[in-house]
Amino acid sequence: MRFKSQQKGSQMPEVNLVPMMDVILTILTFFIIVSMTLTGQQQSVDITLPSTDAGASTLPVPDPLVVGLNQQGQVLLNNQPVGDAQLSQQMQTYLVQNSKGAVILKADRKLPYEQVVQVLGKMRDIGGDRVSLAIDQG
């Protein structure tokens, strides 16, 4: 008994992709040329752009309140050691008086990071998002 599973004359037809790629590249070239010619025909509108000085605020920004943290772990305000209660009272007074003011913590480089973060956390509890850490770019 003979099965017809192998037929010699039936092969899968192949698709030739080269002509299709030629057509696609021709269409792409056409759109590039058309877009280049259309961009040259657009008319521009003359406007005066605002300068950076015109939008600047005329209100002076107050100097930030700088809180120091020395190598011994003491919190300094105006180069004088202060306690947590004094720091809190001074920060609240400064922030009430200066609505645009900021409080900056300037810590010694040699302090452990955990100690700096603890003091910064206490200051954030008082001043919120107006408290930041000073960066030494030296």
Kindly state whether residue 48 falls inside one of the protein's structural domains. no
Kindly state whether residue 99 falls inside one of the protein's structural domains. yes
Kindly state whether residue 25 falls inside one of the protein's structural domains. no
**Residue 99: domain span:** 65-133
Kindly state whether residue 21 falls inside one of the protein's structural domains. no
Tell me if 62 sits within 8 A of 98, measured CB to CB.
yes
Q: H-helix or E-strand containing 102?
A: none
* Closest C-alpha to 118, from 87, 79, 78: 87
Q: H-helix or E-strand containing 36?
A: helix 18-41
Q: What is the CATH number of the domain that holds 81?
A: 3.30.420.270
Q: Which carries the bigger pLDDT value, residue 19 or residue 60?
A: 19
Q: How many domains does the chain have?
A: 1
Kindly state whether residue 106 falls inside one of the protein's structural domains. yes
Q: What is the pTM of this model?
A: 0.53
In the chain, pLDDT over 90 holds for what percent of residues?
A: 12
Q: What is the pLDDT of residues 11-55, one digit of tens each?
A: 788 888 999 999 999 999 999 999 888 876 666 677 777 776 655
